[in-house]
Amino acid sequence: MPYVPNTDRDREEMLREIGVGSVEELFAAVPKGLRESVELDVPGPLSEAELVRHMKRLASMNRTTDDVVSFLGGGVYDHTVPAVVRYVMGMPQFYTAYTPYQAEASQGTLQSIYEFQSLICRLTGLGVANASMYDGASAAAEACLMALAITRRNKILVAGTAGPSLRAVVATYLEASDIEIVELPETCGVTDVSAVDAHLEGAAVLLVQHPNFFGLLEPVDELSVKCADAGVLLVASVDPLSLAVLKPPSDYGAAIAVGEGQSLGSPVGYGGPLLGFMAADKKYLRRMPGRIIGATTDTMGRRGFVMTLQTREQHIRRAKATSNICTNEGLVALGAAVHLSLLGKNGFRELALQVTSKAHYAALALSAVAGVDLRFEGPFFREFVIDLSVPARRVKEELGRVGIWPGISCGCYYDGMENSLLVSVTERHTREDIDSLASGLEAVISPGGSS
């Protein structure tokens, strides 16, 4: 194993301690057919300068949202991240911290999580929020498990307009169980309310994404009434930025709200870093997974922070545990808390209004191009679907050559939408960016355009 930095003497001492004569003897129990017999083509060692040059060369092969105009979305969005967010997240006392197992000795970490939870409660309007959710999709799955435990039923309803990854993660969580998953049909891009009644009996939860994958606003008020009448818990997966302009989940009767917090101060990486959040009605406090941090005062009257609830089986009796959530997302949650604190209530709303107005300008500009139509007519937040007169894959390939990523091909996830693009807009997009996309679409689609 030349890639393990052990000397020959180190290896000899370890083998002697184990009681075998060679590495081959150590792995003798592994069938020969499963062992790699070909010498790996691993290059030799590099000096520091050579390694830096090599890594820079590899990095230069990638294109990022700083190199192109990107209209990709679908859950991960290219927002401006203030420098102070990166600075605070990079402070050693936060950057090197992990799970606060000796909780009361980690006051800074506990306070940052407490502030994050408090901000999520203010956004969602619900009484309690936790921490340590991996991402929005797994937070939704955990909410479904929570609802199943509360209601003691064995069926969940999932809106078909929820994000593909969200639905896939929920299905994966429940794959080995006998829980029935019913995917609700859509009409005009939103959940078909008239079709819900047929599935409510025996259901524990209705999971809806609002705004949904297509960017459209779901009929959450009507769905909430139907859920309440049938004793079904409504779980809303929300875009946190949308809560600056839409009413919070508490106002339409959601028992649990979850979502993806990447847009709150995290960059667009290779699909991350992501941050799930969860909030719920206070009466479900002891059913929540993850961690809940509380504020208190010590015997000297000083304010302090404590681990109020931690329901993982590592820390309590397994029969009492509510989940196996174990990785602490504290650093990304810290970034979200700093970002929200910097913006404040007015700044957060201004950001949401910018995103909304630019998205609606883009919808008008693109639908004015011959061969481009808006697929849905309902109100939307930050993204929308356009239908093209040519395959979306072709449009993506041709515009990609000129530095424009026009959106996500809906045909990858939905049958019959091979010519559809999900276009997402953020505050980073200028009028010129949007007009360039419109011109690019026209060039590809029009008879005189490129082919």
Dump pLDDT digits (tens) for 210-241.
Answer: 999 999 999 999 999 999 999 999 999 999 99
pLDDT of residue 34: 83
Q: Is residue 304 domain-shared with residue 408, that is, in the same domain?
A: no
Q: Is residue 371 domain-shared with residue 235, that is, in the same domain?
A: no
The count of other CB atoms within 10 Å of the CB of residue 203 is: 22
Q: Is residue 74 part of a domain?
A: yes
Q: Is residue 271 domain-shared with residue 403, that is, in the same domain?
A: no
Nearest to 220 by CA among 189, 247, 180: 247
Q: Is residue 363 part of a domain?
A: yes
Q: Is residue 328 domain-shared with residue 190, that is, in the same domain?
A: yes
Find the mean pLDDT for residues 41-55: 91
Q: What is the pTM of this model?
A: 0.87
Domain boundary among 283, 310, 340: 340
Find the mean pLDDT for residues 111-124: 96
**What average pLDDT is seen over the chain?**
92
The answer to whether 362 and 368 have CB atoms below 8 angstroms apart is no
CA distance 438 to 383: 15
Q: Is residue 386 part of a domain?
A: yes
Is it the case that residue 359 has pLDDT exceeding 60?
yes
Domain boundary among 295, 310, 340: 340
Confidence of residue 450 (pLDDT cuts 50, 70, 90): very low
Q: Is residue 391 domain-shared with residue 333, that is, in the same domain?
A: no
Higher pLDDT, 35 or 86: 86
Q: Is residue 333 domain-shared with residue 356, that is, in the same domain?
A: no
pLDDT of residue 449: 46
Q: Is residue 115 part of a domain?
A: yes
Q: Is residue 266 domain-shared with residue 131, that is, in the same domain?
A: yes
Q: Is residue 333 part of a domain?
A: yes
Confidence of residue 451 (pLDDT cuts 50, 70, 90): very low
CB burial string 407-417: b at 16+ within 10 A, e below: bbbbbebbeeb
Confidence of residue 43 (pLDDT cuts 50, 70, 90): confident
pLDDT of residue 35: 78
Q: Is residue 263 domain-shared with residue 379, that is, in the same domain?
A: no
The answer to whether 392 and 422 have CB atoms below 8 angstroms apart is no
The answer to whether 280 and 300 have CB atoms below 8 angstroms apart is no
* CB-based contacts of 325, cutoff 8 Å, min separation 6: 132, 133, 134, 142, 289, 290, 312
Is it the case that residue 313 has pLDDT exceeding 70?
no
Is it the case that residue 383 has pLDDT exceeding 70?
yes
Find the mean pLDDT for residues 295-314: 84
Q: Is residue 427 domain-shared with residue 287, that is, in the same domain?
A: no
Is it the case that residue 293 has pLDDT exceeding 70?
yes
CA distance 365 to 437: 9
HEC-encoded secondary structure of 214-238: CCECCCHHHHHHHHHHHCCEEEEEE
Domain boundary among 340, 372, 402: 340
Find the mean pLDDT for residues 371-387: 97
Helices and strands (H and E) in the chain: how many:
12, 17
pLDDT of residue 318: 64
What is the CATH number for 266?
Answer: 3.40.640.10
Dump pLDDT digits (tens) for 318-334.
Answer: 667 777 776 668 899 99
Find the mean pLDDT for residues 379-398: 97
pLDDT of residue 434: 98
Q: Is residue 258 domain-shared with residue 123, that is, in the same domain?
A: yes
Is it the case that residue 49 has pLDDT exceeding 60?
yes
Q: Is residue 241 domain-shared with residue 304, that is, in the same domain?
A: yes
Dump pLDDT digits (tens) for 394-417.
Answer: 999 999 999 999 999 999 999 999
pLDDT of residue 447: 56
Please state the domain count of the chain. 2
Q: Is residue 298 part of a domain?
A: yes
What is the CATH number for 404?
Answer: 3.90.1150.10
Q: Is residue 237 domain-shared with residue 349, that is, in the same domain?
A: no
Q: Is residue 14 part of a domain?
A: no
Domain that holds residue 423: 69-79+345-445
Find the mean pLDDT for residues 304-330: 73
pLDDT of residue 322: 72
Q: Is residue 3 part of a domain?
A: no
